[in-house]
Structure 1
Amino acid sequence: MKYFVYIIFISLFSLNGHFSLCQKNIIIYNENMEPIPYVNVSMKNKGIGIHSNKNGEIAVDSRSYKGKFVFSKAGYQDTAIIIDANLNKIVLKNALIHSDDFGQIDGKRVFKLGEVHGEKYGVHTNSGKPEIYLKYFNSKEGVGYVIDNLKFKTTSDKNNAKVLIRLYAANNKLKPGNYLYEKAIEVDVKIGERINKIDLSELNLRMPKYGLYVGLETLIIPENVYSYTERNLLTDEISQRNEYMPNYVLHKYRGDANDNSSSYIFIGGEFYNMNNKELRLAMELKLKRP
């Protein structure tokens, strides 16, 4: 038990080797000068980063890491800043929120897109990168329908691992566009393999014209760290490994006409097409007629 506590203590003060909570704090605010919790902070075009804590605080050792950092949070404009020793606060501006005009909606009362059940083909893990893994939902039939609920499957070695959900409207090139909702939806994931059901009905969000991207964001915070030891079978050396919970269950693509776009990943301030025609997040969206 002492060994485990020691590992967690070290991780608090040296996440990713470049970000350290023992340095001077920088506080991230909104335009009302309120701290913003769990902001995604990463080196531009690189996979190194962390999230701010629940009080909107981060600390970056600018002496050992030079370049622009991208600050990203649902509902705010992504902001790239060079951090220096004199910087003690950052203000994020509100982002544009997507909206469509819909006429009378006729059709089925409810239907679903995607699939959360089925055989597990693999898992998407995170060893310390502040990334967002996105799944695309496209349905001409469902345009204008209300988004009722979302389900996604996870595995976790920690209880109450925190995940943020971001909702993006697809643009006319079927890429992630503006936010559909002005907030990140926070979810606490239980230990083990779970299907997480999120009720979105009260938000009155409508399925956009070109479809929807749902992004799952694992928080790179000490509370999500799972530490374990691993033995090298060739050298017999034992090393410590850290992963950030939870893991996202993946299904094999089965040719669903409503799932015909590659997955995207957001990291280092950019969206990247994963060009993966084989795997999809185990995720399901239920729509209902307004």
Structure 2
Amino acid sequence: MRYLVLLFAVFQLQAQEVLFEGHVYDHKTKEPIPYVNLSFLNTLKGTSTDDEGHFYIDVPKPYLEKQLHISSLGYKDTIVVANNIYKAKKFHLVEESFELDEVVVTQSLGNSDVLNPVSSYSLTSGFSSSSTPWVLALYFPNIGAQKKFVNKVTVFFQKNKNFKRPGSKFRIRIYGVDTKTKKPSIDLLRKSIVLETQTDKDYVSIDLKALNIKVPKEGIYIGLEWLFVPYNWYTTTTIHPLTNKKIVEDRFAPIFGGVYNKNQNYKAMVYGMGEWTDFTVKSKDKSKNFIPAISLKVSKE
């Protein structure tokens, strides 16, 4: 009986949760930073700051000893021990310094191409969030000698019957390509652009030609970043196949659309827990890859 009591006490200790909350600020301006992603490394737990730079999430108490990955566009990726933030209730991110290439404004751009053209009818499935913030990215090759500039990005979505709000928010990212690893590298889009979906539309387009983003010769990645904010939160309920019990899970909108494409030049990658990894799912006949439903319109000089 004594051992049973001890085991119960250990179980209670392990199951105890704490409220992990605070604010993230700009180190220089002291202003709160919205939509910062925070992820506990080597776990599936994470959250994002809201419009006021505030975050909160219930986590098991042992998580306070884990490393926390903090990332936001325009700031240095930072890894700290979660307990430091738990005690201070705040954290300051340092702005990332960078040098921009000289911007050349052309008089007029000639013809344009749409890479990975997608229609709503071609959507077969989708990419939903996990339990931690992550980025889904699609690689577009740069074929041909002409200079190309990012003109417009269109993102498609899957219908989500569990999400009851009129829309959800996500952030668009644009990356260069690491010449050695072929993975996403530096952010080419230095401005945080948060887009909002609408339940009556299955796509969102954004015109970026005014930013004069040149497509590097190695190609370009278009990234879609989930934001773990209350505005995007919803739950799903499934039945466990063995116990027949209901399982309720937290999820965050949107569900990004996916298509099968036989062009092997397009490649999907995901960023989570501090690193980029390949995402490879093939059709039954192995001739097509399942990739995010993102279309990129480029203008040629």
Interval containing the TM-score (normalised by the shorter chain): 0.7 to 0.9
- 2:233 matched residue in structure 1: 225
1:64 match: secondary structure: helix
Q: What do the CA deviations read for 1:9-35 (whole angstroms, capped 9, x no partner)?
A: xxxxxxxx9997x55523332432221
1:97 to 1:36, Cα distance in 2 relative to 1, 3 A: farther
1:272 to 1:101, Cα distance in 2 relative to 1, 3 A: same
Amino acid at match of 2:157: T
Q: What do the CA deviations read for 1:262-287 (whole angstroms, capped 9, x no partner)?
A: 31111111111224452111111111
Deviation at 1:169, TM superposition (A): 1.0
- 1:67 matched residue in structure 2: 66
Residues 1:183 and 2:188 are matched in the alignment: no
Larger helix share, 1 or 2: 2
The 8 Å contact of residues 252 and 279 in structure 1, kept in 2 or not, is answered as yes
- 1:81 matched residue in structure 2: 80
- 2:23 matched residue in structure 1: 26
1:216 match: secondary structure: strand
Amino acid at match of 1:29: D
1:276 to 1:154, Cα distance in 2 relative to 1, 3 A: same
Q: What do the CA deviations read for 1:57-101 (whole angstroms, capped 9, x no partner)?
A: 224669431222111111222111113243332222224366478
Q: What do the CA deviations read for 1:153-198 (whole angstroms, capped 9, x no partner)?
A: 0124342201111111112232211110112210111115612111
TM-score, structure 1 as length reference: 0.81
Residues 1:266 and 2:271 are matched in the alignment: yes
The 8 Å contact of residues 26 and 95 in structure 2, kept in 1 or not, is answered as no
2:74 match: secondary structure: coil
TM-score, structure 2 as length reference: 0.78
The 8 Å contact of residues 232 and 252 in structure 2, kept in 1 or not, is answered as yes
Deviation at 1:140, TM superposition (A): 2.6
In 2: Cα distance, 1:71 partner to 1:19 partner: 21
- 2:116 matched residue in structure 1: 114
Residues paired across the two proteins, number: 270
Residues 1:136 and 2:139 are matched in the alignment: yes
The 8 Å contact of residues 34 and 49 in structure 2, kept in 1 or not, is answered as yes
The 8 Å contact of residues 76 and 93 in structure 2, kept in 1 or not, is answered as no
Residues 1:150 and 2:153 are matched in the alignment: yes
- 1:12 matched residue in structure 2: none
The 8 Å contact of residues 42 and 50 in structure 1, kept in 2 or not, is answered as yes
1:30 to 1:79, Cα distance in 2 relative to 1, 3 A: same
The 8 Å contact of residues 142 and 216 in structure 2, kept in 1 or not, is answered as no
Deviation at 1:110, TM superposition (A): 1.1
Determine which structure has more spread, i.e. the larger CA radius of gyration: 2
The 8 Å contact of residues 124 and 247 in structure 1, kept in 2 or not, is answered as yes
- 2:11 matched residue in structure 1: none
Residues 1:286 and 2:297 are matched in the alignment: yes
RMSD over equivalenced CA pairs, Å:
3.0
The 8 Å contact of residues 175 and 189 in structure 2, kept in 1 or not, is answered as yes
